[in-house]
Amino acid sequence: MSSAFPAMKILQPLSTTRSPEKPLFDLLKSPSSFLGSASKLRFNAQKPSPSSSYSSSCHRPSTIVAVSDVVKEKKTLKSNSSLSNLLITKEEGLELYEDMVLGRAFEDMCAQMYYRGKMFGFVHLYNGQEAVSTGFIKLLKQEDYVCSTYRDHVHALSKGVPARAVMSELFGKTTGCCRGQGGSMHMFSKEHNLLGGFAFIGEGIPVATGAAFTSKYRREVLKEAGCDSVTLAFFGDGTCNNGQFFECLNMAALWKLPIVFVVENNLWAIGMSHLRATSDPEIWKKGPAFGMPGVHVDGMDVLKVREVAKEAIARARRGEGPTLVECETYRFRGHSLADPDELRDPGELLNFVILVYFVFPFL
Amino acid sequence: MAAILKGIVATSVLSSSSDFVPKGVQLPSLKSLPVSERKGGFLVDGSDAKVVPVSNARARSAGRLVAANAVAAEKSAASTASKTGGHELLLFEALREGLEEEMDRDPRVCVMGEDVGHYGGSYKVTKGLAKKYGDLRVLDTPIAENSFTGMAVGAAMTGLRPIVEGMNMGFLLLAFNQISNNCGMLHYTSGGQFKIPIVIRGPGGVGRQLGAEHSQRLESYFQSIPGIQMVACSTPYNAKGLMKAAIRSENPVILFEHVLLYNLKERIPDEEYVLSLEEAEMVRPGEHVTILTYSRMRYHVMQAAKTLVNKGYDPEVIDIRSLKPFDLYTIGNSVKKTHRVLIVEECMRTGGIGASLTAAINENFHDYLDAPVVCLSSQDVPTPYAGTLEEWTVVQPAQIVTAVEQLCR
């Protein structure tokens, strides 16, 4: 249906229940001062900002969809009405807050242990990106699957793996979630349906596609009517140049698998800036090329991420197929604890810190 | 006295009314016997199908029978089978039969690969299955080996039992990432939480002028991957049995088929049977030299064996079938009997299955050897296109005869 036609049609609002006047993803909305927009964030770019070159050639349909404006409006609208129209309830808010604080505290403790010589190997920390993990995973059910990368501690925590089990795993203890056999980069949990934890980038995306395939197979071949498990595949900007990413986008859209591809675009693949590695850095655009919606969201705001995630997950559960969600986020620490992190401009980090702590609360 | 026992090494329940087993003979399933009790082997002497206890065999508990496989027995078995039925088919049909039986038996078994569905498989192994089971159970994938192999791994982790077909084994080089990292290792790195009951199969080996890239032998590349099992089929009988065993196994199994063997015809039993993945097959018992081989080279060896018999030699031919792990039990018993080993394989000389097998035999049975282990492998070259050149890169029967003559001097 929509796959026969180009991007314009694909980027239609995901949810049919949303009113036409206030679509969540609206192509026609003018470019906002959304902080995640290409023109604002890439001040460290070593090549000309893509938006400038694009605006001159004018072949881009529109800029980043303005999720923030709509969500803002919803918030202001809703704060005027009764409590039941809030974006999140107090309980949900506390749950999200606890999850993010747990993630941050956990990662900080990992760093402490590592630098004190009690933890070894490659440890990749998630500081700064908590909103993506919490925003998405807290919407899942136990039977839904999460497939991650080596930066998987917080995904494991959000999915429900006890922090004690994850920490024990990092110390190589038999009480760890993988009996100490996997380590930092291989967090698995059968009980919580966490399918890893992969050391090579891109490796987990086909596995996630397979889990989504199982869900569809269960429904259609084994006739388990109640089976509507959704799979989330998390991966980074560097992975989006890898063959497995594209191959899986194709297969997932082809068979309408119940999967959401979540790109945690933190602009850096170790020391390789996303802009230096990618011909077209706007990853969300690659979704429509395969016949699925491509959505861009500010990955530093958990409420925005959650709104997008709700749509994408609901879409998958309804059997409408995959979605590609690009979350612009930032990692406050180096690629791993062994990374000297010399190539990133400290100003870039400061910019995010300022935005997150001083600007966002006032928006 | 045990009668012909070939092929009834089954892990499934044996019916006592089977014509292959005379009344009163207790045939335990091999799996039920702890390894330490599988002492002593019985070899069926080809000429009159008498059971001959192996000399040098260690003490064995009386009354226990360990079934041995013998092609010589196959003749009698075949004749018995023809009395009872059995049906003739080609190797690719045997594979399909095994596959179909398993798909009927367990709805979680599914097939994924390029052109497996509507096209029926490049060598027709999955012909007709898509019509019968639907497009989702026999899935035509896009040309993305790494990704669909990974997808099969993910499906296996979450409850399905997929069979991945590589259109040509060589294409699975593109899936090496997923096969090595995920197939092989996920069971371990997840601390045993996830099983990967996947079967990866496809045609490999040197064909008829298929060119260098379509003539690869991937068993040598995959053998080091920890966590996977490898088997190679060579007859319709063992193709079906190994296919079923591989599907039922909870481990990732790579089943190597050969492009030139798909049209071999043989009569196989009507009854259901499953072979053991870890066992070697005694093709021809003998006394003078042990020839270890697998897949297509089995036929070159048997051809050479005819010549050798005429020249007065008595070679023992074993089709090792299990490429990883080796069936050192059967191989060891043979070495202890003949004291001379010749390995004939289609792998490249460097780092092939023969190289590993030579090392294993030297390590374990050094004292029993009267001569160094000789290994005949393919040349370490890309397979040429020209037929005459291609023939020279692969071991030919004449070379096998010469090697045995030198070995037995």
Residue with tokens 């807290």: A138
Q: Are B103 and B133 in contact (CB under 8 A)?
A: yes
DSSP of A126-175: -TT-HHHHHHHHTT--TTSEEE--S--HHHHHHHT--HHHHHHHHTT-TT
Query: B122 to chain A, minimum CA–CA distance in Å?
Result: 21
> What pLDDT does B174 receive?
95
> What pLDDT does A156 receive?
97
Distance separating alpha carbons of residues A26 and A4, to the nearest angstrom: 20
Q: Of how many residues is chain A composed?
A: 363
Closest of A19, A85, A1, A24 to residue A309, by C-alpha: A24
Angle subtended by helix axes A67-80 and A302-318, to nearest 10 = 100
Distance separating alpha carbons of residues B304 and B118, to the nearest angstrom: 41
Instruction: Show the tokens assigned to A99.
Output: 């999850």
**Between B160, B178, B191, which is nearest A178 by CB?**
B191
Q: How far is CA A59 from CA A5, A30, A55, A62, in A?
A: 17, 15, 8, 9
Q: From the centroid of its chain, how far is CA A179? A: 28
Contact state of A205 with B159 under an 8 Å Cβ cutoff = no
User: Chain B: residue nearest A189 by CA?
Assistant: B193
Residue with tokens 């497009």: B135
Given 3-state DSSP classes, what are the helix, strand and coil percentages for chain B, each rounded to the nearest 5?
35, 20, 45
Mean pLDDT value across residues A212-237: 95
Question: Can you give the three-state secondary structure of A105-135, one letter per residue?
Answer: HHHHHHHHHHHCCCCCCCCCCCCCCHHHHHH
Query: In terms of DSSP bridges, do strands B138-140 and B199-204 run parallel, antiparallel, or are they unpaired?
Result: unpaired
> What pLDDT does B409 receive?
86
**Between A197, A206, A214, which is nearest B150 by CB?**
A206
Give contacts of B149 with chain A, Cβ < 8 Å.
206
Q: Note whether A222 contacts B: Cβ–Cβ < 8 A.
A: yes
What is the count of residue pairs from A and B with beta carbons less than 8 Å apart? 134
The pLDDT tens digits of the residues spanning A144-169 come to 999 999 999 999 999 999 999 999 99
Instruction: Show the tokens assigned to A222.
Output: 């084994």
Contact state of A205 with B150 under an 8 Å Cβ cutoff = yes
Contact state of B153 with A145 under an 8 Å Cβ cutoff = no
Q: Is the pLDDT of residue B49 over 50?
A: no
Q: Is the pLDDT of residue A72 over 60?
A: no
Instruction: Show the tokens assigned to A165.
Output: 């089990």
The pLDDT tens digits of the residues spanning A34-46 come to 333 333 333 333 3
Q: Is the pLDDT of residue A123 over 80?
A: yes
Distance separating alpha carbons of residues B193 and B99, to the nearest angstrom: 27
Q: Is the pLDDT of residue A222 over 90?
A: yes
B 172-191 residues with CB < 8 A to A: 177-178, 181-182, 186, 188-191
Q: Note whether A176 contacts B: Cβ–Cβ < 8 A.
A: yes
Contact state of A196 with B190 under an 8 Å Cβ cutoff = yes
Share of chain A above pLDDT 90, in %: 67
The least confident of A348-352, B230-234, B356-360 is A348-352
Query: A235 to chain B, minimum CA–CA distance in Å?
Result: 15
Q: Is the pLDDT of residue B21 over 50?
A: no
Q: Note whether A221 contacts B: Cβ–Cβ < 8 A.
A: yes
Pick among B110, B139, B143, B151 to test the A interface (most A CBs inside 10 A): B151
Give contacts of B108 with chain A, Cβ < 8 Å.
222
Distance separating alpha carbons of residues A270 and A339, to the nearest angstrom: 8
**Phi and psi based region of residue A278 (left: phi greater than 0; alpha: psi -120 to 50; beta: remaining):** beta
CA atoms within 13 A on the CB side of B370: 13
Give contacts of B177 with chain A, Cβ < 8 Å.
200, 203
Closest of B276, B278, B196, B283 to residue B244, by C-alpha: B276
> What pLDDT does A360 receive?
63
**Between A182, A205, A214, which is nearest B158 by CB?**
A214
Distance separating alpha carbons of residues A320 and B313, to the nearest angstrom: 69
Query: B135 to chain A, minimum CA–CA distance in Å?
Result: 10
B 218-247 residues with CB < 8 A to A: none
Q: How many helices (H) and strands (E) does chain A have?
A: 14, 7
> What pLDDT does A75 receive?
53
Q: Note whether A258 contacts B: Cβ–Cβ < 8 A.
A: no
Q: Where are the alpha helices (DSSP H) in B282-396?
A: 297-310, 328-338, 353-365, 387-393
Q: Which domains does chain A have, with CATH numbers?
A: 91-342 (3.40.50.970)
Instruction: Show the tokens assigned to B236.
Output: 């319709």
Query: In terms of DSSP bridges, do strands B161-165 and B109-113 run parallel, antiparallel, or are they unpaired?
Result: parallel
Mean pLDDT (chain B) is: 84
Give contacts of A177 with chain B, Cβ < 8 Å.
191
> What pLDDT does B75 receive?
44
What is the rounded end-to-end Cα distance, in angstroms, of chain B? 37
Q: Are A326 and A284 in contact (CB under 8 A)?
A: yes
**Between B137, B150, B189, which is nearest A221 by CB?**
B137
Q: Is the pLDDT of residue B55 over 90?
A: no
> What pLDDT does A24 receive?
43
Residues 6+ apart with CB under 8 A from B178: A203, A206, B146, B147, B149, B150, B153
Contact state of B191 with A179 under an 8 Å Cβ cutoff = yes
Between CA B8 and CA B264, with CA B162 as vertex, the angle to 5 degrees is: 45
Buried b (16+ CB within 10 A) or exposed e, A93-126: eeebeebbebbbebbeebbebbeeeebeeebbbb
Distance separating alpha carbons of residues A267 and A95, to the nearest angstrom: 28
Angle subtended by helix axes A130-137 and A302-318, to nearest 10 = 40
User: Chain A: residue nearest B149 by CA?
Assistant: A206
Residues 6+ apart with CB under 8 A from A57: none
Q: Are A235 and B194 in contact (CB under 8 A)?
A: no
Residue with tokens 């790195």: B189
Q: Which domains does chain B have, with CATH numbers?
A: 86-269 (3.40.50.970), 281-408 (3.40.50.920)
Q: Where are the alpha helices (DSSP H) in A221-301?
A: 243-254, 274-277, 286-289
Mean pLDDT value across residues B121-133: 95
Contact state of B110 with A221 under an 8 Å Cβ cutoff = yes
Catalytically active residues of B, by annotation: 145, 214
Distance separating alpha carbons of residues B334 and A308, to the nearest angstrom: 67
Q: How far is CA B233 from CA A303, B257, B276, in A?
A: 57, 6, 12
Given 3-state DSSP classes, what are the helix, strand and coil percentages for chain A, each rounded to the nearest 5?
45, 10, 45
Q: Note whether A247 contacts B: Cβ–Cβ < 8 A.
A: yes
Mean pLDDT value across residues B150-159: 97
Q: What's the pLDDT band for A339 if we cut at 50, 70, 90? A: confident
Q: Is the pLDDT of residue A285 over 60?
A: yes
Closest of B230, B199, B194 to residue B102, by C-alpha: B199
Mean pLDDT value across residues A71-84: 51
Comparison of pLDDT for A301 and B65, the residue scoring more = A301
Contact state of B193 with A178 under an 8 Å Cβ cutoff = yes
Pick among A149, A214, A220, A231 to test the B interface (most B CBs inside 10 A): A214
Give contacts of B197 with chain A, Cβ < 8 Å.
none
> What pLDDT does B16 receive?
39
> What pLDDT does B242 receive?
97
> What pLDDT does A76 receive?
54
Instruction: Show the tokens assigned to B6.
Output: 């070939």
Contact state of A247 with B160 under an 8 Å Cβ cutoff = no
Comparison of pLDDT for B61 and B340, the residue scoring more = B340
Q: What's the pLDDT band for A57 if we cut at 50, 70, 90? A: very low
Contact state of B190 with A190 under an 8 Å Cβ cutoff = yes
Contact state of A203 with B192 under an 8 Å Cβ cutoff = no
**Amino acid, single-letter form, for residue B181:** N
Contact state of B154 with A198 under an 8 Å Cβ cutoff = no
Instruction: Show the tokens assigned to B231.
Output: 């088997």
Distance separating alpha carbons of residues B275 and A106, to the nearest angstrom: 50
Q: Are A192 and A130 in contact (CB under 8 A)?
A: no
Closest of B281, B294, B236 to residue B263, by C-alpha: B236
Instruction: Show the tokens assigned to A194.
Output: 């966490």
